[in-house]
Structure 1
Amino acid sequence: MFYIFLSILCSVAVAVLLKLFNRYSIDSLQAIIINYPTALILSYLFFKPDLQIVGQHSNLLPEYTILALLLLSLFYFISRSITYSGMVITAVAQRLSLLIPVLAAFILFGEQLNPIKIAGLLTGFLAIILSLPYTKNEDGNKKASVFFPLIVFSGTGVIDVLFNRLAQNKEVPFTTALSTVFGIAMFLGFIVLAYLFTTGKSKFSLKTAIGGLLLGSFNFFSIIFYLKALHLESTKPSVIFSALDVGVITLGSIVGFFIFSEKLSLRNKLGILVAIISIIIFSFA
């Protein structure tokens, strides 16, 4: 479990960085884009991907490109969700996204739902309802501040489904496919940066570049430690999945509540508890 603990630390560190970007006036979008060349360089050092295999399966490039676009945009929405809804709510939204692959397997691929999965789905959706933050508008009316967490929830779930498809493809190793996605995300991100720089809508900032390097490093190592944990505990993947999700929610809640003084209602706290229960239920499914 040592590697899963390291993966949890890196995952929460990514959220902490995104939280600090807003505090220290660091351009989140620029840092997120710089995160991808960092992740790509590290993937070449650790994964040593074979690009010839990718060239032989060019039919997969559209899928890689869609995934790269989703990763770029979702990372930005995660940063907005952390800014406006907090680390805790965002962590719950991300980790409960496992509901979407389960529903996709049932709706799209005809997989049967057993009582345990049904219980996990019901408690998961209840956790989402309880966890969503409520704020007051300027006119004093209550309105659910749900947009960013729901985007994070749905976007992460769709990405999980696409990553599962990549993992099931035996012709291209998952690490090679992942490195390719990082490369495409970097290319697309650089196009966005070029537009922002040439139009004067953004300027290069050294502290933002450093933030992007740190973001890419923690993001990459959260993945590699997770893969190492799966490799060592290959017969117990459900234990790894649930340990990671529960760990990120728990540590993220501790950091958000005690370090960043995020305010949570009793309903939100109950939602976090129900989310952990839902994840544990799925570990038995």
Structure 2
Amino acid sequence: MHFLALAVCFSVAVSWWLRQAPAWRLDLGQMVWWNYATASLLCLWLLHPRMDAASLSRMPWGIALALGVVLPGLFVIMGRAVQSAGIVRADIAQRLSLMLSLGAAFTLFGQRIDAWQMLGIALGLLAMLAMLARPAARALRGDAAVWLLAVWFGYALVDVLLKLLALRGADFGTALQSSFVLAFVCMGVAQLLRRARGTRLEWRSLGGGIVLGVLNFANIDLYIRAHQSLSANPAVVFAGMNLGVVALSAVVGMLWLREPTSKINRAGILLAGLAIAALTRAAG
């Protein structure tokens, strides 16, 4: 479970860094672009991916290509969801993608559920609803609902793709490196189109992208290792990741950022702790 706990910490760090970008006048698109360049270099340095013909022939290119498109696209989609629907609703949509991920665990990956897993998942869903509870807000406007649905489906799709990547016989480093390179190329094309319309490259955003790349690489690397170490329990990884991120974000917001919380929110943090304990027991 230590890989999962570390992945949760780095996921929260990625979200925090992205949310600070507007205040620090960082260009989101350029940050995401340089993030994948940084992640690719870290992958080369730390994981030593095999780039020989035999390793490349075993590479699940379809999954790598899908990740190369979906991963950078989700950064943009999340940004649009935050702008059109607000941070709270976008965060709810992201974390409730857990429902689709759990559905995949019990259908696509054939996991059988036991009593501890059922208890942990039930407590986790109650905890998420409690921690994300907010006063009723204004109705959604324009295309906000479309962006929220895209967030909901997109994060579940990434969960499934990363699980498939962990299951395949390809070299882990090679698969991850290929996904990062493809994502960098996709974002590079987008940035060239933006530059043709007058957007200028900024050194400030390059620096922000390097920091984002370090955090993002650690998050994805540790998340895949969690799936590998708990290969028989994908539901535990899916639920633990989403639940852990919401719980840690709530604690950080309450203790560090001094965000106001209700009794329901604080009860959700307690339920999250119980849920994580049950999932840890289920993972053995």
- Please tell me the TM-score bracket, short chain as reference: 0.7 to 0.9
Give 1:161's aligned residue.
160
- Could you list the runs of 5+ residues in structure 1 that have no partner in the other structure? none
Conserved? CA contact 2:166–2:224, under 8 Å: no
Q: Show the counterpart of 2:203.
A: 206
Name the stretch that deviates more: 178-187 or 249-258: 249-258
Aligned equivalent of 1:174: 172
1:34 and 1:216 in contact (8 A); partners too: yes
Residues 93 and 152 of structure 1 are in contact (CA less than 8 Å); yes or no, is this contact kept in structure 2? yes
Determine if the alignment matches structure 1 residue 253 to structure 2 residue 250: yes
Equivalent residue for 2:39?
39
- 2: CA distance, partners of 1:236 / 1:164: 11
Q: Out of 124-133 and 158-167, give the one that drifted further.
A: 124-133
Matches within 5 A, 1:1-285: 7-51=7-51, 52-53=53-54, 55-57=56-58, 60-79=60-79, 84-85=86-87, 90=91, 97-130=97-130, 131=132, 133-137=134-138, 151-170=150-169, 172-200=170-198, 202-224=199-221, 241=237, 248-285=245-282
Q: Which amino acid aligns with 1:180?
A: S
- The alignment partner of 2:200 has SS state of coil
Asked if structure 2 preserves the Cα contact closer than 8 Å seen for 1:7 and 1:244, the reply is yes
Identity across the alignment (%): 27
SS in structure 2 of the partner of residue 136 of structure 1? coil
Change (3 A) 1:136 1:246: closer
Does the 8 Å contact 2:55/2:171 carry over to 1? no
TM-score, normalised via structure 2 length: 0.75
Q: Secondary structure at the residue paired with 1:183?
A: helix
Q: For 2:149 and 2:126, how far apart are their aligned partners in 1?
A: 14
**Offset at residue 38 of structure 1 (A):** 0.7
Letter in 2 for 1:158: L
Structure 2: runs of 5 or more not aligned: none
Q: Would the alpha carbon gap of residues 147 and 126 (structure 1) be closer, same or farther in structure 2, given more than 3 Å must change?
A: farther
Q: Which amino acid aligns with 2:68?
A: A
Q: 1:107 to 1:246 in 2, by over 3 A?
A: closer
Q: Is the 8 A contact 1:37 1:186 kept in 2?
A: yes
| Local SS of the residue matching 2:187 | helix
Instruction: String of CA shifts for 1:90-143, please: whole Å, max 9, x gaps.
Output: 3x7656655433311323354444344444444444444442545533xxx699
CA RMSD of aligned residues (A): 3.9
Contact 2:124 2:243 (8 Å CA) reproduced = no
Change (3 A) 1:28 1:121: same
Decide whether aligned partners of structure 1 residues 129 and 147 sit closer, same or farther in structure 2, where only a CA change above 3 A counts: farther
CA deviation profile, 1:40-64 (whole Å, cap 9, x unmatched): 0110111111123453146x32322
**Cα distance in 2 between the residues matched to 1:127 and 1:150:** 22
Cα separation, partners in 2 of 1:147 and 1:134, compared to 1, 3 Å? farther
Q: CA deviation at 1:86?
A: 5.0
Query: For the Cα contact (< 8 Å) 2:166–2:227, is it kept in 1?
Result: no
Amino acid at match of 2:206: A
